[in-house]
Amino acid sequence: MNPSENQAPPVVCAGMVVTDHVSPPLDHLPSAGELVAVDDLVLNIGGGAANAAVDLARLGVRSAICARVGDDTFGRFATETLRTHGIDTQALTVDRSRPTSQTMIVNVRGQDRRFIHAVGANLGFTAEDLDPALTTSTRVLYIGYFLILPELTGEALAKRFAKVRQGGGFTVLDVATPGPGKYIEPLKAVLPHTDVFLPNSDEAALILGEHDPIRQALAFREMGARAVVITCGERGAIAMSDSLRVRLGTYPIAYVDGSGGGDAFDAGYITGLLEGRSELDCMKLASAIGASCVRAVGTTAGVFTRAEADAFLRSHELAIEPL
């Protein structure tokens, strides 16, 4: 083993790094020509890989980021933000031909968020980008927003997932589905090498054409995923594996902004995996971390620290219904 691998972070978070421009909850969307004044607009790190890495840092877990940013102000902001959280950025590539990915997130009280997105440098991300980041110390490889990255193919990702699993590590996959598309074939390639698959119910519906979360989970299990968790927002989650088949409720949290909640859930689950927790305990921790995220504007500002998460779990119970 290369001596530097002894110090390599145990988690590699790969996929998308985005710079988010986020509004606080508005009373209404502005009409044409109208200006709606707010106290603040948030410039924040975003994207599945970046959000999960920052959330893991808040939980005391070291990680490396593997993604692409542009050679621009937003790329430098994203890189510096990640480094400030102690995240290893050696595998964060600067793409000099494309701008940094950005998302405008508009929050309106009582409504789902609106998104305006430019994929930017993430358009060039490939499975080969992962190779420098993967070491014998990699215990978890997490891919955020698979299916929205056009050059990250299922076949090539499957090879990297298989390598991590052969080394005794875990593979964790999340997706993003911006609209109807041909998603089945890439998933058929990679799910047999996936330990935990974590789509939300809306994403699963676009993939499968099936809206029932239990049937969604069963379908992904049939494709080869070892464990499937379908997150359903305020309706909780469905977890299904060889040893666990449950419907889980939600923890009571005052909702402000849902941005990043799924990524925070993923970070909590990854933390549980690293600690050797049972699947159910991984779900409890993931649900608490996901719930904490929605307390504040932005994708990471509200996420619990580890001490806050432990205190929250001691004082709250999660409804669990066997399936």
3-state per-residue secondary structure call for 182-233: CCHHHHHHHHHHCCEECCEHHHHHHHHCCCCHHHHHHHHHHCCCCEEEEECH
Angstrom distance (rounded) from CA 225 to CA 208: 15
- Mean pLDDT over 19-40 rounds to 92
In a domain, 187, yes or no: no
> To the nearest 5 percent, what fractions of the chain are helix, strand and coil?
35, 25, 40
Maximum average pLDDT range among 24-28, 65-69, 102-106: 65-69
CATH number for 93: 3.40.1190.20
Banded pLDDT at 42 (limits 50, 70, 90): confident
Q: Does some domain include residue 237? A: no
Position 281 pLDDT exceeds 60: yes
Question: How confident is the model over 174-209, as pLDDT tens digits?
Answer: 999 988 999 999 999 999 999 999 999 999 999 999
For residue 1, what pLDDT is reported? 33
The whole-number pLDDT of residue 194 equals 98
Mean pLDDT of 62-81: 97
**Start-to-end Cα distance in the chain:** 45
* Whether the predicted pLDDT of 5 surpasses 60: no
CA–CA separation, 253 vs 293, rounded Å? 9
74 lies in some domain: yes
pTM: 0.93
Q: What's the pLDDT score for residue 6?
A: 57
pLDDT of the residue at 53: 98
Number of domain units in the chain: 1
Residue 237, φ and ψ in degrees, nearest 5: -155, 160
How far apart are the C-alpha atoms of 143 and 311, rounded to whole Å?
29
Expressed as residue numbers, the domain containing 283 is: 3-27+40-176+252-304
Mean pLDDT of all residues in 282-295: 97
- Beta-strand ranges (E) seen in 58-131 are 63-70, 88-95, 102-106, 114-118
